Amino acid sequence: MTLPPLSLYIHYPWCVKKCPYCDFNSHQQQGDNDKAYMQAVLADLDNQLQENLVQNREIQTIFIGGGTPSLCAIDAMEELFLGLQERLVFAKDIEITLEANPGASDKEKFSAFRAMGVNRLSIGVQSFNDTHLQNLGRIHSAQQAVETVQGAQACGFDNINIDLMFGFENQSVAECLSDVKQAIALNPAHLSFYQLTIEPNTFFAKYPPTLSQETNWEIQEQAHQLLVQAGFPQYEISAFSQRPAKHNVNYWQFGDYLGIGAGAHGKITLDDEIIRTLQSKSPVDFMQNNQHKTTPITQSSFEFMLNALRLKAGFAPDLFVQRTGLTLDNIKEPLQKAFELGLLEQKGNIRATEKGFDFLNDLQQIFL
């Protein structure tokens, strides 16, 4: 197998409060334990490096997600970055993304993060409508969202993603399009636009809002058209930009990534197998025990297709061979079925048709 690009994911598990729709590994912040946590994160990295999982490979991208990493104390984040630079080789054009939320960040922090080397922000706006923000359990207002994006830009960030959600209870098409227009007006480099889904073990799963699939379909059609017309081409099922997120593209192309922090998982290509690493989700357990599990990936063809079919451009057949160590014969039958159903096409790359993109879950299931 050809070694793919290598990324690093770092998980910061705390938020001001848990949102009712969120199924990420996030916990309400209690006390000041950022320094202790980041020391445990570096210890986690040391453990994985000692196992020689990455063969001194360059790190192409870093993504600090959560949770709400912009909550982290500046001195603790500085300690993390110093530790990373001591242990890893950064690519010259490395992309370093940090997730931030309005209401949990300010200009002082943005300036500090930028000085550390963060060169991309992903800001969790979700909506510019105060009523919908309140119903989603967000701690910020629409005005704070605008000021947060503008504040980050004033600090020199020119590579900013805005996260937008749609499909809220009682959300009209006009309200969603207003959100999209406001996001476009802020001139970000990238927009993530995705539908609210009800996930198991969330507050919304227990007390579900009323959602309209018919309205959601209309929203999706009109919002996608608006984004493309405004110069934000769709390159992935929920991502719009002329400047794709290098870190996320590495995921979707079945690249490698180290995962450190509570609940983080990684995927590493070795000489004769592909492995998954997984850490304890409990921040307390992670800090006390710091023992990750390692398991082999046995369905690499399905995992490759699950990710690569999210990309509008699809994938080159050679990439499947390089990333999985398999040949296309291993997926010959499901490929043929998807072609016959009009869900896939091959024009150089193998990619989803418009119909396949509309019914992506059904397309992906064919390869399971």
Predicted confidence at residue 1, as pLDDT, reads 66
Dump pLDDT digits (tens) for 37-95: 999 999 999 999 988 778 789 999 999 999 999 999 999 999 999 999 999 999 999 99
CA–centroid distance for 72 within its chain: 19
Q: How confident is the model at residue 173 (pLDDT cuts 50, 70, 90)?
A: very high
Distance CA 59, CA 267 (A): 14
Q: How confident is the model at residue 181 (pLDDT cuts 50, 70, 90)?
A: very high
CB burial class (10 A; 0-12, 13-18, 19+) of residue 210?
exposed
Percent of the chain with pLDDT over 90: 77
Higher pLDDT, residue 342 or 18: 342
DSSP tag of 212: -
For the chain, how far is it from start to end, CA to CA, in angstroms?
22
CA–centroid distance for 232 within its chain: 18
Distance CA 83, CA 312 (A): 37
pTM of the model: 0.95
CATH fit for domain 6-250, picks 3.20.20.70, 3.40.50.720, 3.40.50.300, 3.65.10.10: 3.20.20.70
Report residue 168 as tokens: 């809220």
Q: Which residue is it, tokens 């450190």?
A: 260
Taking CA 355 as the corner, what is the angle to CA 350 and CA 359, rounded to the nearest 5 degrees?
A: 95
Instruction: State whether CATH 3.30.70 applies to domain 302-368.
Output: no
Dump pLDDT digits (tens) for 190-203: 999 999 887 888 77
Instruction: Give residue 55's identity as a one-letter amino acid code.
Output: Q
Predicted confidence at residue 229, as pLDDT, reads 96
Dump pLDDT digits (tens) for 134-143: 998 889 999 9
Higher pLDDT, residue 1 or 351: 351
Tell me the mean pLDDT in the region 267-280: 92
Q: SS3 helix, strand, coil % of the chain, rounded to 5?
A: 40, 25, 35
* Domain residue spans of the chain: 6-250, 302-368
Tell me the mean pLDDT in the region 272-276: 91
* Strand duo 90-100 + 120-126: pairing: parallel
Dump pLDDT digits (tens) for 102-129: 988 889 999 999 999 999 999 999 999 9
Distance CA 197, CA 210 (A): 11
Dump pLDDT digits (tens) for 1-49: 678 999 999 999 999 888 878 878 888 887 788 999 999 999 999 999 9
* Strand duo 120-126 + 349-352: pairing: unpaired
- CA dihedral defined by 204, 208, 209, 210, rounded to 10 degrees? 150
**What average pLDDT does the structure give for the chain?**
93
Q: How confident is the model at residue 263 (pLDDT cuts 50, 70, 90)?
A: very high
